[in-house]
Amino acid sequence: MREKGTGSITQRSSDGMYVVRVELPSDGLKRRRKTIVRKKKADAIAALRQMRKDLERAGDLATASPTVEQWMTQWLDRIARPRLKPNTLDSYRGSVTRYVIPSIGKVRLDKLTPAHVRKMHDYAMQGRSSTTALQAHRVLAKALVDAEREGRVTRNVATLVDAPAKAVAVRESLDAAEARRLLLSVADDATLATHWSVALLAGLRQGERLGLTRGQVDLERGMITVSWQLQRLRWRHGCKPACGRKRGADCPDRYIRMPDGQEGHEVHGGLWLTRPKSRKGWREVPIAPPLHAVLTRYLEGRTLKPDDLIFTDEGRPVDPSRDSAAWSVSLEAAGLPAVVLHSARHTTATLLHALGADEQTRMQVLGHSSATVTAGYTHLSNAITADAMGRLGELLDPRG
């Protein structure tokens, strides 16, 4: 048997074509070889050299190439799934099924060229934002990274094409006067006052706020520890054969797709507590004085265990859609413009910047810190950050 990677070139007597063969690692059951055919001897020699180089780099070569559709489907289900959170995986799958497969799905993976990637860009941008094409490009590029690692392709062609530019979008948010007006409008409603004070004075994401437990709010230290988020996860069909029901939530064998190693547990009816978006999201946020007063009033008289959610709706977790609706109603009642709930974080960031807080402090407050994570938490520079949050509290204090 020829040594692995040596390769050979022979000329067929039947048609004069040159057959190039390279021995591949055995799968333990049978001999494996990569075989290609070239018309000219010079092309066959060049192909053999390239195959040797690719084999040395990747350790193996694919003997048959799947289509882009076949690879993307396999990649989502077997490679990406264990790594990604359920909602992120759904987002990736949406980009693949809507834009990648319809535009270039039939192309053989090893025949993929930069021109094909640009074709996918054009398809994704038909009547849509360039951000849509950018997301599809990023997903394709990630899938090709793994294809290259497994020897399915010799290069990642997505890296040879400029990614579409992200569309410039101006996110409207409340200014300081409007934020104070909102907090003043709901001041007599302990629940709403606490919700929107946490959103504006601590900069928490919606899921982080709705996932706050009593043990995460330390009034004595004046700190909120962000370590969980409440999310609605999609149920999947688990039935074999198919149960015939349209929604996964109605399947008798339904299940939630949770990545390996992802910590989380269901709280109620598809609402789950999961760890933050990234480990950078694990952080402590100083409680500004006005927020401290609101939280103290809200929690006074409530008998809650450390793992109990502080925000509930008739004893159940607050559904994110109902929470967003409550935000809209509160804005309308205060005579304020209709801005999305997530823009409350933008308000926090903008006002901290206006107050002179440096970029690192703003990133730490909002959970975008790149600081070293110790024991699962990003411990902030309390003196600097507390000062910034204290000044933010003075700015938005509805009593001032």
pLDDT tens digit sequence for 340-373 = 888 888 777 776 666 555 555 555 555 644 432 2
Residue 47 located in a structural domain:
yes
pLDDT at 376 over 70: no
Same domain for 99 and 144, yes or no, is yes
Same-domain status, 240 and 106: no
Which of 63-67, 215-219, 359-363 is modeled with the greatest confidence? 215-219
What tokens does 372 get? Answer: 């070293």
- 368 pairs with which residues across the strands? none
Question: Of 58, 78, 98, at which residue does a domain stop?
Answer: 58
Query: Which range marks the domain in which residue 150 is found?
Result: 68-160
Q: Is residue 89 part of a domain?
A: yes
Per-residue pLDDT reduced to its tens digit, 266-298: 888 788 888 876 565 678 888 888 888 899 999
Provide the number of structural domains found in the chain.
4
Q: Are residues 199 and 348 in the same domain?
A: yes
Contact 264, 358 (CB under 8 A): no
Asked whether residue 279 falls in the same domain as residue 203, the answer is yes
- Region of 315 (left: φ > 0; alpha: ψ -120 to 50; beta: rest) is left
What local confidence, expressed as pLDDT, does residue 351 receive?
67
Degrees to nearest 5, angle at CA 128 with 123 and 131: 95
Residue 113 shares a structural domain with residue 242 = no
Q: Is 15 found in the same domain as 40?
A: yes
DSSP string, 287-309: --HHHHHHHHHHHTT----TTSB
Same domain? For 210 and 280 the reply is: yes
CA distance 205 to 368: 12
Read off the pLDDT band of 263 (50, 70, 90). Answer: confident
Same domain (yes/no): 381, 330? yes
User: Of 18, 34, 58, which closes a domain?
Assistant: 58
- Given pLDDT bands bounded at 50, 70 and 90, which one contains residue 71? very high
Query: Alpha-carbon torsion 242, 245, 248, 252, what sign?
Result: negative
Q: How many CB atoms are located within 10 Å of the residue 330 CB?
A: 20
Q: Which pLDDT score, from 0 to 100, does residue 307 have?
A: 92
Q: What is the CATH number of the domain that holds 334?
A: 1.10.443.10
372 in a domain, yes or no? Answer: yes
Letter for the amino acid at 52?
Answer: R
Percentage of residues of the chain with pLDDT beyond 70: 81
Q: Which of 106, 132, 160 is the last residue of a domain?
A: 160
Please report, for the domain that includes residue 136, its CATH number.
Answer: 1.10.150.130
Q: Are residues 291 and 379 in the same domain?
A: yes
For 168-177, 189-198, 214-223, 282-291, which range has the lowest pLDDT when averaged over its residues? 168-177
Domain presence at residue 3:
no
Torsion sign across C-alpha atoms 309, 314, 316, 318: negative
- Arithmetic mean of pLDDT, 391-397: 62
Decide if 2 is inside a domain.
Answer: no
Q: Is the dihedral of CA 343, 345, 351, 354 positive or negative?
A: negative
Judged against a pLDDT cut of 70, whether residue 310 lies above it is answered with yes
Residue 319 forms part of a structural domain: yes
- Helices then strands, counting H and E runs in the chain, come out as 14, 13
DSSP designation for 69: H
Query: pLDDT tens, 104-138?
Result: 999 999 889 999 999 999 999 998 888 899 999 99
Name the pLDDT band for 92 (thresholds 50, 70, 90).
Answer: very high
The answer to the question of residue 263 being in a domain is: no
Between 224 and 347, the more confident residue is 224
Residues 81 and 38 in one domain: no
Inside any domain, residue 170: no
Residues 220, 324, single domain; the answer is yes
Give the rounded distance of the alpha carbon of 132 from its chain centre: 15
If asked whether residues 211 and 354 sit together in one domain, one would say yes
